[in-house]
Amino acid sequence: MKIFVLALLLSPLVCQTDAAASDRDDGWQLVWSDEFNSDGRPDTAVWNYEHGFVRNNEDQWYQSDNAWQADGKLIIEARRERKPNPGYEAGSNDWRSKREYIEYTSASLNTAGKIDFLYGRLEVRARIPVGDGAWPAIWTLGSGMEWPSCGEIDIMECYPVDGESSLLANAAWGRDRRFDAEWDSSHTPLSHFLAKDKDWASKFHVWRMDWDKTAINLYLDDELLNSVPLSKTINGTIGNHTNPFTKPQYVLLNLALGGDNGGKIDTSAMPLRYEIDYVRIYRKVK
């Protein structure tokens, strides 16, 4: 596992795939990136795939076929695709196994067990689908404890809030009961961005997390969306009153559909594409 403990400013950890990306004059040094410059499948030394129905009662079946690299980008495609659910169990009450058929497919990738980092800057440039039912995300999770005591940081989620498509920036940690999260959440209506640029949805944008020992700051195109002080992110009894955001996190990229938050799926918009130009991790050197 490559763990970038950025707070300690370890010099041997530079693993750059694009030297030009490290030429910054703002005090940040690139320590790792994936620029997705090779066509074909994502690098398996970095990325894992999730498989099947995974979380949040979502409608998509995750599979590796829906993710590939082309033209310098990682493409995650959600499709309307009907096929038998191999985990189907007649009479089951579990949302994963009671579905006889898969109706939609997509992909979810993560760096668990391969790339972790503690503190620093995570930057992702992407173009996201904003149609009805789409639920794209850029997020991180910790290891060694079950959710949410492991800590979750949502650099980007896009789904409807109070009936209006919104961009969310969140952090979650554990409380005193299993699977009960304490959230610090912020949502900004998509209309806020469209008012500044009517073509916003057709363009690439940069999502950024600046994370240090005091706070997690989440940005979209340099606009601060949420600031979470680490003084309050203390787990409850399940997480032994630890702070999950003083430990490394790994990166996840996925395109979900429907489920608990995505809303009704617009089948006429299929297939949907989520395009990621790069994922970069920096450390502060000044």
In this structure, which amino acid lies at residue 131?
A: G
- Which residues, listed in sequence order, are joined to residue 48 by a DSSP beta bridge? 110
| Closest listed residue to residue 154, CA positions, set 79, 238, 63, 245 | 245
Q: What is the per-residue pLDDT for 25?
A: 67
Give the Cα separation of 230 and 222 in Å (integer).
Answer: 21
Q: What is the mean pLDDT of residues 240-268?
A: 97
pLDDT beyond 70 at 137: yes
| Closest listed residue to residue 179, CA positions, set 142, 148, 143 | 148
Give the Cα separation of 13 and 106 in Å (integer).
Answer: 33
Give the Cα separation of 160 and 167 in Å (integer).
Answer: 9
Lowest-confidence region among 2-11, 124-133, 185-194, 225-234: 2-11
Give the Cα separation of 228 and 208 in Å (integer).
Answer: 14
Q: What is the per-residue pLDDT for 23?
A: 53
Which value, to the nearest 10 degrees, does the dihedral of the CA atoms of residues 46, 58, 100, 98 take?
110
Q: What is the per-residue pLDDT for 26?
A: 81
First vs last C-alpha separation in the chain: 27
In this structure, which amino acid lies at residue 60?
A: Q
Residue 252 is inside which H or E element, if any? Answer: strand 249-257
Domain boundaries, the chain: 2-284
- Which residues, listed in sequence order, are joined to residue 191 by a DSSP beta bridge? none
pLDDT beyond 70 at 41: yes
Give the Cα separation of 4 and 251 in Å (integer).
Answer: 12
Cβ atoms 148, 173 nearer than 8 A: yes
3-state secondary structure of 221: coil
Cβ atoms 155, 168 nearer than 8 A: no
Q: What is the mean pLDDT of residues 109-118?
A: 98
Domain covering 2-284 in this structure, CATH number: 2.60.120.200
pLDDT beyond 90 at 275: yes
Residues 113, 115, 118, CA angle at the centre, nearest 5°? 110
pTM for this prediction: 0.93
Q: What is the per-residue pLDDT for 4?
A: 53
Give the Cα separation of 12 and 2 in Å (integer).
Answer: 12
Does residue 84 have a cis peptide bond before it, meaning omega lies within 30 degrees of 0? no
pLDDT tens for residues 3-29? 555 443 333 334 444 444 555 668 999
Q: What is the per-residue pLDDT for 2?
A: 56
Q: What is the DSSP letter of 40?
A: B
